[in-house]
Amino acid sequence: MTVDAHPIADLPNPADYGFTVIERQELPADLLTLVDRVRELVDAVAHTEADPAELAAASRTVSELTERLGARRRPVGAMTRQDWEGGRVDYNTLANAVSGVTNPVAPLRNLRVEDGGLRAETTLNGAYEGPPGLVHGGWVAALLDQVLGETSAVFGRMGLTANLTVDYRRPTPLNTPLTVVSRITGVERRKVFVSGEIRCAGEITAEGSAIMVRVAIPEV
Amino acid sequence: MTVDAHPIADLPNPADYGFTVIERQELPADLLTLVDRVRELVDAVAHTEADPAELAAASRTVSELTERLGARRRPVGAMTRQDWEGGRVDYNTLANAVSGVTNPVAPLRNLRVEDGGLRAETTLNGAYEGPPGLVHGGWVAALLDQVLGETSAVFGRMGLTANLTVDYRRPTPLNTPLTVVSRITGVERRKVFVSGEIRCAGEITAEGSAIMVRVAIPEV
């Protein structure tokens, strides 16, 4: 199987389609700090046993914050550029639910090229729970979907997921370092075949495979 | 195909296994309000263009909130009981990432029995974004995983997902009402086969099928 890496010139620039593209270095460090703090808040709220008066006061504070922070809002689909090893380029929405740098709930931050594929580590807190103490099966699928999709974009073609299949081999624990890896396994016309897995302490907890289909970027 | 509904007595009560079980009416209304407010905050932060001073002040406020709310934390795996139509019973962690009543990021709140299966509506805000303006493929999978799993628990057997397959038929938009439905399609020894779909404006955007395998509840 041969995978043709796409030349940079072949990658559509979202700015040409009317999307806002923001360089990572333009994002204030204070924003990235706030994103991390809100991730911790989500977990705290999901598990809090604070008394009603404390909860009501917190709601008021959060409403005020939302109003202030929401007063200036990025346009829908604002993207940032990711430069990968080997001159590859990729774009992702800043708010991407799984790897967006400004999304407080996105748990994937350190995706990188390794061994001809992509690799990332993450640790999911209690906000990602499904069964007691375990990562939700939907989040297992979401981690795989994002990494498989980015692998397709970086090594094959930008595309949307057409099919995602996940085999759950053993429970994936919360609050424990996880590794996600993926690689291209085939290319056929507009389809890119990608597979990957999640590992915990060296053991595979879930395997995923996806068919990504190259699509035109929609006009805004 | 015949599906045997499990009698209530057949359903293990998590309290018998050492898990904390909290009745929904014991949850303070102020907590549920705070959960909704934090969901809005996540979206606001993911898209804010506030200036650094405002962001830094917000981080301090959020840190204080997290510290206060986190001072009293529920035990891992705290669950709540769900009474379904027809005398069926189900348990879910309060913090469940997709349908937990205390999880600010969980977008499914109104699952119910309908037409021999389960049905829910939801609208996903900008914090669930994948491609510009569209629901992340991982969240499409997560919605299906949760509803398929609960369908198995309510109509078949409580279990964990062994396999999840999602076919993405068309883009699923953000900020637009979505319907998720699912039903059991077969039972074979410890396996329950379930399928379902997500609809938007009457059209199927994604179809999912899962194999759920009945498992013993782990001891705490």
Return the pLDDT at B67: 98
The Cα A200–Cα B113 span in angstroms is 36
Chain A residues in contact with B90 (beta carbon < 8 A): none
Q: What is the CB neighbour count within 10 angstroms for residue A181?
A: 18
220 residues of chain A, pLDDT tens digit each: 444 444 444 566 788 878 899 998 899 999 999 999 999 999 999 999 999 999 999 999 999 999 999 999 998 889 999 888 877 888 899 999 999 999 999 999 889 999 889 999 999 999 999 999 999 999 999 999 999 999 998 887 777 889 999 999 999 999 999 999 999 999 998 899 999 999 999 999 999 999 999 766 554 4
Closest partner residue to B19 (CB to CB) among A45, A132, A142 is A132
- Asked whether residue B63 is assigned to any structural domain, the reply reads no
Q: Kindly report the average pLDDT of chain B as a whole number.
A: 90
d(CA B6, CA B11): 7
Examine residue B62 and state whether it is found in any structural domain, yes or no: no
Taking a C-beta distance cutoff of 8 angstroms, is the pair B194, B218 a contact? no
A85 belongs to a structural domain: yes
pLDDT at B10: 54
Residue B202: give its domain's CATH number: 3.10.129.10
Please report, as a single letter, which amino acid is at residue B87: G
Q: What share of chain B is helix, strand, coil (3-state, %, to 5)?
A: 35, 30, 35
Domain that holds residue A159: 10-19+75-214
Contact call for B132 and A56, based on CB within 8 A? no
Which residue has 């329950």 as its token pair?
Answer: B192
Closest Cα in chain A, distance from residue B197 (Å): 14
Q: Which amino acid is at B179?
A: T
| pLDDT for A217 | 52
Which residues of chain B neighbour A216 with C-beta distances below 8 Å?
none
pLDDT reading at B191 higher than 60: yes
Domain presence at residue B109: yes
Rounded to whole angstroms, the maximal C-alpha distance in chain A is 63
- Among A20, A26, A30, most B C-beta atoms within 10 A, so best to mutate, is A30
pLDDT mean over B75-83 = 89
Tokens (6 digits) for B213? 């395998």
* 8 Å CB contact between B99 and B108: yes
| Nearest Cα residue in chain A from B102 | A46
3-state helix, strand, coil in chain A (%, to 5): 35, 30, 35
| Per-residue CA distances from A70 to B14, B41, B42, B43, B58 (Å) | 41, 8, 10, 9, 12
User: Among all residues of chain A, which has the CA nearest to that of B52?
Assistant: A30
Residue A15, by phi and psi: left (phi above 0), alpha (psi -120 to 50) or beta?
alpha
Q: At B127, is the pLDDT very low, low, confident or very high (cuts 50, 70, 90)?
A: very high
Closest listed residue to residue B90, CA positions, set B140, B20, B156, B186 = B156
pLDDT mean over B140-149: 97
pLDDT band at B31; cut points 50, 70, 90: very high
Rounded percentage of chain B residues whose pLDDT exceeds 90: 72
Determine the distance in angstroms separating the CA of A172 from the nearest CA of chain B, rounded to an integer: 12
Residue A92 parent element (H or E): strand A89-93
Which residues in chain A have Cβ-Cβ distances shorter than 8 Å to B174?
76
- Residue B196 banded pLDDT, cuts 50, 70, 90: very high
CA dist A76 and A151 (Å) reads 24
B207: nearest CA partner in chain A: A163
Beta-ladder partners of A159:
A214
What total number of domains does chain B contain? 1
**Spatial separation of the C-alpha atoms in residues B117 and B147, rounded to whole Å:** 10
Residue A29 belongs to some domain of the structure: no
Nearest-by-CA chain A residue for B103 = A46
Is A69 part of a structural domain of the chain? no
* B19 interaction partners in chain A (CB closer than 8 Å): 132
Complex ipTM above 0.95? no
How large is the average pLDDT for residues B45-59? Answer: 98
Q: Which of A51, A45, A60 is nearest to B28 (CA)?
A: A51
Nearest to B65 among A61, A149, A168 (CB): A61
How many Cα atoms within 13 Å fall on the side-chain side of residue B67?
Answer: 6
**Dist. CA B162–CA B168, nearest whole Å:** 20
Question: Residue A189: what pLDDT?
Answer: 86
Q: Among B33, B49, B72, whose Cβ lies nearest the Cβ of A48? A: B72
Residues in contact with A32: Cβ distance below 8 Å, sequence separation at least 6, in sequence order: A101, A102
CA distance B88 to chain A (A): 19
Q: For residue B57, is it within any domain? A: no
Residues in chain A within 8 Å Cβ distance of B143: 138
**Nearest residue of A to residue B164 by CA position?**
A166
Look at residue B219 and tell me if it is in a domain: no
Contact list in A for residue B76 (CB cut-off 8 A) is 126, 132-133, 174
CB contact under 8 A, B100 and A69: no
Chain A residues touching B93 at Cβ < 8 A: 129-132
Is the per-residue pLDDT at B120 higher than 90? yes
**DSSP states along A8-60:** GGGSPPGGGGT--EE-GGGS-HHHHHHHHHHHHHHHHHHHB---HHHHHHHHH
